[in-house]
Amino acid sequence: MPHFNTLDDASVEGKRVVIRVDLNVPIEKGKVTDATRIERVAPTLRELLDKKAAVIVLAHFDRPKGKVVPEMSLKPVAPALEKILGRPVKFVATDWLSKPGVKVKPGECVLLENTRFHPGEEKNDADFAMVLGSLGDIFVNDAFSAAHRAHSSTEGIAHTIPAYAGRAMEAELKALEQALGNPKRPVVAVVGGAKVSSKLELLGNLSSHANMIVIGGGMANTFLAAQGFNVGKSLCEHDLLATAKKIMATAKSKGCMLILPTDVVVAKEFKAKSPSRNVSITQVEPDDMILDVGKATIATIQSTFYAAKTIVWNGPLGAFEVAPFDAATIACAKLVAQLTKSGKVASIAGGGDTVAALNHAGVAKDFTYISTAGGAFLEWLEGKSLPGVKALERKPIMTTNKNKLADIAQRMVTAGKGILAADESTGSIGKRLESINTPSTPDTRRDYREMLFGATDAMKAYISGVILYDETIRQKGRDGTPLVNMIKATGAIAGIKLDTGAKPMALCPGETITEGLDGLADRVAEYAKIGAEFAKWRAVIDIGKNLPSHNAIHANAHALARYAAICQAGGIVPMVEPEVLMDGDHDIDTCMRITEWVLKEQFQELYYAGVKLEGIILKPNMVISGKKCAVQASHEEVAEKTLIVLKRCVPSAVPGIAFLSGGQSSQDATVHLHCMNAAGPLPWKLTFSYGRALQADALKAWAGKDGNVAAARAALSHRAQMNSLASSGKWSKSLEK
């Protein structure tokens, strides 16, 4: 699946955001009777309002066919939207024949009249699209249910102003990718409903993606008849028997197994409590109606569910509206819900009858994802391109930009060089200065940084880049030279820390999520102007009792991937730093298992985000025993197990891996790096991106005194040289002072 711009890529504060949503809800006597669709888009609207965007809502209602029809006005929807949002919503009436005057301030929301009142809306009229685009600075599409229509408010407007997917749209696209785009296998598809004729394209596409297709509902009768079985007076498209045979042959040729009923539930008439029988498909009588699949077939279907990793469901297995012909749908739906809740399958369902059937079974909330999109969901399952979605596709990084990123990444891992991590926050550097009895002030922090970056010989010989903090990248030396320029004068590259820190993660006790995505694109642009050519973002994964959780690993991997994509779009190289902490009493094998899990999740998220691996640097932890572990692994074991994990997880397209020291002693960090590089040829360059492990000796020698600068720089030079040798596998203990 292509990659899309989302709200994570947008800076919305103070901007007018035009958002397309689906408010085509049932109304009786001027009141909304089912607010499900409003509830689906409310999170996106709240997020925009919380970020102080001026929100302009577009939607359609019913089919006025390009005319003003008062009964089809969106005005009755405004109070329901206001109630769910908990914010005032002003309704703006217009016939759309002229541009409406829209007065809205940041943090306010207005709902405009039915877009289908304009005769050009459903024709995707370019002029009308321009009018809609002129209402705002940014377009957000959160109406997946209308994405299969190329209308002015869903597709045309996306070509007039920057376009992004809203949270509901983003969730839908991710669910669809999980269902068929890049699913865990085996994939089982359940296809039901009345007619084969309405599902021909669906079955054709599913046979190329699913491992098994369960066919139920009235359409199963057509397949049974095509096999020569008597279906009595059941619903059956006898004119499509040849088509059914072709579908079966095509599925077989593609290695997709079709599962058809072997027994069925029949009755003489279709009504509640009508006498029914469970019979073999060979025992259907001429006046029987097949209204559900039988017990043996239910058992077969359920056995396929137990073997599945992904289940996609569209259509009921029987006439679920009337008991007892709902038995198969309920039994199978409950099993899918059970398997989903236990984490054994991902379950995605959609389509009007499907949602109704799952609600009837009482399990809709237990599926991984339920799409209420109807036609759009079905067209996606059929393999069709959806105009409203395609318009949101992220434009690929220009070739020149890709080459530039790869170039910078290669410079960052120049042979014999590594990265100096000098991105400590004001609080962190304050603690280090306190350890040498030096007060933390802008001047002392500047002096310390200047002492490091002024070690010209060491910088030129051993340092390829320096990671800076916001304060530092803006500072000037005592003589007025910007510290960035001092770094660049040595041939090193300046980088910048972009995350805003790890914060407690909701509903995940003891775990954190790294924040900082809001407004990130603007910050990337600003730092690039100052001189940053690469960036850093650190995610923190803790090992403990029942930790880490998959939720924490996935959320942090996703955030890192979003950051990386934004960096690349802005022309700077992202350092991707998923750190498994060495705090705790865990052994090295536990660290190995968790690190492998973290890295596999990370590279999957980078792929989904469209990040070009040639233009990143990975900054991982080494696989190491916890600090409090009674048995500490040897240097050789750390190197061996770290390399095993990296070879399992890191694609060779990544140009280099610059390890964090993560609390190791200065010499241990050097020895571990040496042992890995001494192990032989590797797919990537292995080097260092150390903070304390490079700076500790220099900090101690400096002690906050100008007279100690030369000694401090000598200490930095020695430690950098040792790591330079380690990055080539040429370090020796005899070289240590």
Q: Which of 60, 56, 59, 46 is nearest to 110 (CA)?
A: 56
Q: Is 184 marked active-site? A: no
Give the 3-state secondary structure of residue 136: coil
**Contact 117/59 with Cβ under 8 angstroms?**
no
DSSP strand pairing (187-191 vs 310-314): parallel
- What are the angstrom distances between the C-alpha of 369 and each of 85, 174, 481, 550, 578? 23, 10, 56, 18, 28
- Active-site annotation holder among 107, 181, 232, 375: 375
- Active-site annotation holder among 66, 352, 416, 430: 352
Q: Is 544 marked active-site? A: no
Q: Is 254 marked active-site? A: no
Q: What single letter denotes the amino acid at residue 709?
A: V
Q: Which residues are CB-neighbours of 692 under 8 A, at least 6 positions away?
A: 661, 663, 666
- Element spanning 305, H or E: helix 295-307
Q: Is the dihedral of CA 440, 446, 450, 452 positive or negative?
A: positive
Contacts 24+ apart (CB under 8 A), 366-372: 366/337, 366/338, 366/340, 366/341, 367/313, 367/336, 367/337, 367/340, 368/175, 368/178, 368/340, 369/171, 369/172, 369/175, 369/178, 371/144, 371/172, 371/175, 371/176, 372/36, 372/37, 372/40, 372/145
**Contact 190/217 with Cβ under 8 angstroms?**
no
**Contact 314/351 with Cβ under 8 angstroms?**
yes
Q: What is the DSSP letter of 256?
A: P
Distance CA 685, CA 411 (A): 11
- What are the angstrom distances between the C-alpha of 297 and each of 50, 278, 287, 545, 736? 51, 11, 22, 43, 73
Q: What single letter denotes the amino acid at residue 553?
A: I
Distance CA 198, CA 182 (A): 26
**Contact 103/56 with Cβ under 8 angstroms?**
no
- Active-site annotation holder among 37, 116, 497, 619: 37
Q: Is 37 marked active-site? A: yes
**Contact 393/2 with Cβ under 8 angstroms?**
yes
Q: For 435-449, b where at least 16 C-beta lie within 10 A, e where not — what string? A: eeebebeeeebbbbb
Distance CA 691, CA 660 (A): 8
Q: Which residues lie across from 141 on neighbouring strands?
A: 20, 165
**Contact 76/38 with Cβ under 8 angstroms?**
no
Give the 3-state secondary structure of residue 347: strand
Distance CA 109, CA 331 (A): 44
- Active-site annotation holder among 75, 195, 593, 600: 195
**Known catalytic residues?**
37, 195, 352, 375
